[in-house]
Chain A
Amino acid sequence: MVAFDEMRPENSGLRQPYQKYQAWLDEQDPARLTEKMQDAERVFRKTGITFAVYGEDAAAERLIPFDIVPRILSGQEWRRLMQGIEQRVQALNAFLDDIYHRQEIIKAGRIPKELIANNEAFLPEMIGVRPPAGVYTHIIGTDIVRTGEDEFFVLEDNARTPSGVSYMLENRETMMQLFPELFQRIKVRPVANYPQLLRQSLAAVKPEGCEGSPRIAVLTPGSFNSAYFEHAFLADQMGVELVEGQDLRVIDGHVAMRTTQGYKRIDVLYRRVDDAFLDPMTFRPDSALGVPGIMDVYRAGKITIANAPGTGIADDKAIYSYMPEIIEFYTGRKALLPNIETYRCSEPSSLSYVLEHLHELVVKEVHGSGGYGMLVGPAASKKEREAFAEKLKARPSNYIAQPTLSLSTVPILTEAGLAPRHVDLRPFVLVSDRIQIVPGGLTRVALKEGSLVVNSSQGGGTKDTWILDD
């Protein structure tokens, strides 16, 4: 199976979006490009854009490898994606509102009740709670894969706390530093205003009764978290405080942070802490990362939490398989961006199919993320597949399976020149009183030849993503 190359598909010439780039590339000295690649690494290391990999030495800080060949999409391709994403995001928020109120989608028999009731990501504490401005999931990273000229699929809806947006911004910054002349020749739509949009978006969903401009803060688990760089980066770029649980306390019915001048009230909290750790009085009592009592403040409508607690139910991998139904139910239209065919191992017929076809499927944990705990059938050894089959049989409802897609490729620069590698795309969506999508996103690329795993925790890299202004 030959993958679709976004620059030069087999048996046809250079694709339109890459023409100006190729013309520039033809003029470059290969040695100079290699040098630029090294420059890029130095820039990233110097600025400390690193991430920690769980399971490795606690002190280990690694760079996500950056490739200097951009991934380019035409304006037309982008517009199509945007429509599909907007529709999906609307449906996600409508679904969340429904699930925590009347549950009409269950009453209508479109999704099974057990899927919600038995789901860890469903928070009973959120039943009947309406978040400020009615928005549940404010910041979304929709993972999209491509298999052909017109074939785009949604792989995942990251509706809890999607990360990676800082890489989108830093990748662009780095490319502009390395190749200023390229940006004069090719009109690329800018992404740099994302932090301002994020801030405006958060301010627009301030709690009712909050007068004037709200005080916003980013809540991080702390500097040992793998995405700490991003938390700090966003707080900095937005000009808001970066807080940890230990800085916060509930005082007089409000959440307040400890400053050098005493406690100051916070109106909007962009939290990068998982639901389970948010409030030790409501959720995990051992959590030191959260704020005791914040859920009471939230239920009283005195603080906006973005994304709202309990949004995980919408991007759960078991729910994902119902997204086409969910979209149709709430928007009245068919999904513009299709799902990938998904087998729910909880269903006996699907389970037996999956067990028989393990060698050609990708199997994922329902609640997993970051590429941990998944099996890529075609790449796994017989022994690995057999071991995984045992896990599947033991807890079938913990898994879903999907066909191995032939992800599109984009060239990266290797020592032997340009060579195709598989990619995916995560555009970032902001929801307030409107839906905004910055023209760009994070392109993740599997650096190993033939590999389909693009996760940074599994050796993937990133590329700058260009949306052409055409």
Chain B
Amino acid sequence: MLLGRTANGLYWMSRYIERAENMARLLDAGLRLALTQTTSSAEEWTSLVVSAGAEAAFRERHDEFTAATVSDFLLRDTSNPSSVVSSIETARMNGRMVRTALTRECWESLNEAWMSLKRLLANPIDERELPSVLDAIKRDTALFRGSFQGTMLRNEIYNFASLGTLVERADNTARILDVKYYVLLPSVHWVGSSLDNYQWESILRSVSAHRSYRWVYEADYKPTLIADYLILNPRMPRSLAFCYRGIVEDLRQLSEDYGLQHPSYDIAVKVLERLQVSSIKDVFDYGLHEYLEGFIDDNARFSQAVADNYRFT
């Protein structure tokens, strides 16, 4: 038996951990790109903030998109609810609320991540320190994930936390792809052509998929293949298809445990089926932007259905 409030806490704890990690990846990719200096870097930094869904909030705080302002906003700004420091604070607050549902190792790794990241992000970060700071964020969140995967019983507690991770990840991947794709693609005629461009690597790098892409496709970076990889490839752990496979599995287990199938299950199955039957050509025929926008909406609707069906509030 699990309290609705606890399920809610687990779900958001995971979402915010995932968000902190993705924020670090996003910045990491931006940093690499800025270092190559093949393009106007302001555009690149702008796209980072847009991917993070925080353009309006950013403009309230800063006039210019530079490495310093963007990294400060995405890492340290407490007025930005999705900054790493805010995310880890929210994750820990939720974790603290549900700590009786977590193993000791799991709670301690979250608490330690919170302590070390708060310290790390307390003062403005020198640009030279940025790579090591990003590494530390990825390491701390990975430690949490490791103890979570390694010690948690596979029961409803696990399922609700897992749902949070996967919903957040799917949302992040879809946003990154949607924003970057249009920043990078000068015209539709380029779709399908082979581009030897660091910028394409940056999309993949922001989801840590730049090396595995080559293992899978044995090809140069192509816009269609990159989209295929991040949307439809069920083995790529940050793809939409992968996330929804996991989501459906979590819900299947919950339905089995509770002996009751909720509408949220049907929503998830429908989203997954669409990802399974589509080819990347279908996606482009439909319009990539429209497709991703539709997905982000479905994902949000699904998240709300889970909260309703399982009495989060």
Query: How distant is the Cα of A235 from the Cα of B112 in the complex, in angstroms?
Result: 22
User: Do A47 and B4 contact each other (CB < 8 Å), given the known contacts A235-B100, A236-B99, A260-B258?
Assistant: no
Flag if B93 contacts A223 (CB, 8 Å): yes
Considering the chains assembled together, what is the distance between the CA atoms of A247 and B5 in angstroms? 7
Counting CB contacts under 8 A, is B13 at the interface?
Answer: no
How far does the alpha carbon of A446 sit from the alpha carbon of B310 in the complex, in Å? 48
- Report the Cα distance A166→B107, complex, angstroms: 17
A259 touches B4 (CB 8 A): yes
Q: Is the CB of A48 within 8 A of B96?
A: yes
| B258 proximity list for chain A (CB < 8 A) | 260-261
Task: Report the Cα distance A236→B111, complex, angstroms.
Answer: 17
Shortest distance from the beta carbon of B170 to any chain A beta carbon, whole Å: 22
CB under 8 Å from chain B, chain A span 197-249: 222-223, 228, 232, 235-236, 241-244, 246-247
Please tell me if the beta carbons of A257 and B3 are within 8 angstroms of each other in the complex.
yes
Contacts of A8 in B (CB 8 A): none
Q: Is A46 an interface residue, CB under 8 A from the partner?
A: yes
Docked CA distance A246–B5 (Å)? 9
Tell me the smallest distance from the CB of A279 to a CB of chain B, in Å: 20
Do B1 and A47 touch (CB < 8 A)?
no
Contact of A247 among B4, B156, B160, B254 (CB under 8 A): B4
In the docked arrangement, what's the CA distance between A258 and B3, Å?
6
* B100 close to A223 (CB less than 8 A): no
Chain A residues closer than 8 Å to B64, beta-carbon distance: none
Contact A264 B1 (CB under 8 A): yes
Q: Is B311 an interface residue (CB 8 A)?
A: yes
In the complex, the answer to whether A262 meets B5 with C-beta atoms within 8 Å is no
A232 / chain B contacts, CB cutoff of 8 Å: 96, 99-100
Question: Hey, what's the 0/1 contact readout for B57-76 against A, CB within 8 Å counting as 1?
Answer: 00000000000000000000
Check B111–A242 contact: CB distance below 8 A.
no
The answer to the question of A102 belonging to the interface, with a C-beta cut-off of 8 Å to chain B, is: no
> Given A46-B112, A48-B107, A260-B311, do A244 and B5 touch, yes or no (CB 8 Å)?
yes
CA distance A45 to B254 in the complex (A): 35
The answer to whether A260 and B104 touch across the interface, beta carbons within 8 angstroms, is no
Q: Is B111's CB under 8 angstroms from A261's CB?
A: no
| Distance, CA A242 to CA B101, complexed state (A) | 10
Q: Report B100-138 CB contacts with A as 1/0, cut-off 8 Å.
A: 100010011001100100000000000000000000000
Give the Cβ gap from B117 to chain A, nearest Cβ, in Å. 15
Q: How far is the CA of A221 from the CA of B2 in the complex (A)?
A: 19
A contacts with B: majority SS: mixed
Encoded as 1 (CB less than 8 Å from any A CB) or 0, chain B from 273 to 313 comes to 00000000000000000000000000000000000001100
Q: Which chain A residues border B108 with CB–CB below 8 Å?
A: 46-48
Confirm or deny: B7 has a beta carbon within 8 angstroms of a beta carbon on chain A: yes
Instruction: Given A45-B115, A236-B99, A247-B4, verify A260-B156 contact (CB < 8 Å).
Output: yes
Q: Which residue of B lies closest to A47 (CB)?
A: B108
The contact string, 1 if C-beta is below 8 Å from chain A, for chain B 1-25, is 1111101000000000000000000
In the bound complex, CA of A242 to CA of B260 (Å): 25
Instruction: Report the bound CA distance from A46 to B160 in whole Å.
Output: 25
Inter-chain contact A258/B5, CB cutoff 8 Å: yes
Count of interface residues, chain B, beta-carbon cutoff 8 Å = 24
Contact, CB under 8 Å: A260 / B2: yes
Contacts of B156 in A (CB 8 A): 260
Q: Does B191 contact A (CB under 8 A)?
A: no
In which size bucket is the chain A interface? 20 to 34
B96 surroundings in chain A (CB, below 8 A): 48, 223, 228, 232
> Chain A: which residue is nearest B109 at the CB level?
A46
Cα(A375)–Cα(B178), bound, Å: 65
Question: Once the chains are docked, how many angstroms separate the CA of A242 from the CA of B104?
Answer: 16
Expressed in whole angstroms, the Cα–Cα distance for A257 and B2 within the complex equals 10
User: B97 — which chain A residues lie within 8 A by C-beta?
Assistant: 222-223
Q: How far is the CA of A15 from the CA of B132 in the complex (A)?
A: 55
A182-193 toward B: CB 8 Å interface, digit per residue (1/0)? 000000000000
Chain B residues positioned under 8 Å from A243 (CB to CB): 3
Residues of B within 8 A of A45 (CB): 115
Q: How far is the CA of A241 from the CA of B2 in the complex (A)?
A: 8
Closest residue of chain A to B254, judged by CB?
A: A260
Least Cβ–Cβ distance between A91 and chain B, in angstroms? 35
CB distance from A269 to the nearest CB of B (A): 14
Chain B residues with CB under 8 A of A257: 3
B1: nearest chain-A partner, CB-CB: A259
CB of B111 within 8 A of CB of A46, answer yes
Q: Is the CB of B100 within 8 A of A242?
A: yes
Q: Known: A242-B100, A262-B311. Contact between A48 and B111, CB under 8 A?
A: yes
Q: Which of A228, A235, A236, A259 has a CB less than 8 Å from the CB of B311? A: A259
Distance in angstroms between the alpha carbons of A450 and B311 in the assembled complex: 54
- Residue numbers in A under 8 Å from B104 (CB-CB): 47
Find out whether the CB atom of B99 lies under 8 angstroms from the CB atom of A259: no
Q: From known contacts A235-B100, A236-B100, A247-B3, infer whether A260 and B310 are also in contact, taking CB-CB under 8 Å.
A: yes
Indicate the member of A235, A236, A243 with the most B CB atoms within 10 Å.
A236
**Alpha-carbon distance A259/B160, docked complex (angstroms):** 13
Give the distance in Å from the alpha carbon of A247 to the alpha carbon of B313 in the complex: 8
Inter-chain pairs besides A47-B104, A223-B97, A260-B258, 13 sampled, C-beta below 8 Å:
A46-B108, A47-B108, A47-B111, A232-B99, A243-B3, A258-B3, A258-B4, A259-B2, A260-B7, A260-B156, A260-B160, A260-B254, A261-B260
* 29 A/B residue pairs, CB under 8 Å, sorted by A: A45-B115, A46-B108, A47-B104, A47-B107, A47-B108, A47-B111, A48-B99, A48-B108, A222-B97, A223-B93, A228-B96, A232-B99, A232-B100, A236-B100, A241-B3, A246-B5, A247-B4, A247-B5, A258-B3, A259-B2, A260-B2, A260-B3, A260-B4, A260-B7, A260-B160, A260-B254, A261-B1, A261-B258, A264-B1
Residues of A within 8 A of B (CB): 45-48, 222-223, 228, 232, 235-236, 241-244, 246-247, 257-262, 264
Residues of B within 8 A of A (CB): 1-5, 7, 93, 96-97, 99-100, 104, 107-108, 111-112, 115, 156, 160, 254, 258, 260, 310-311
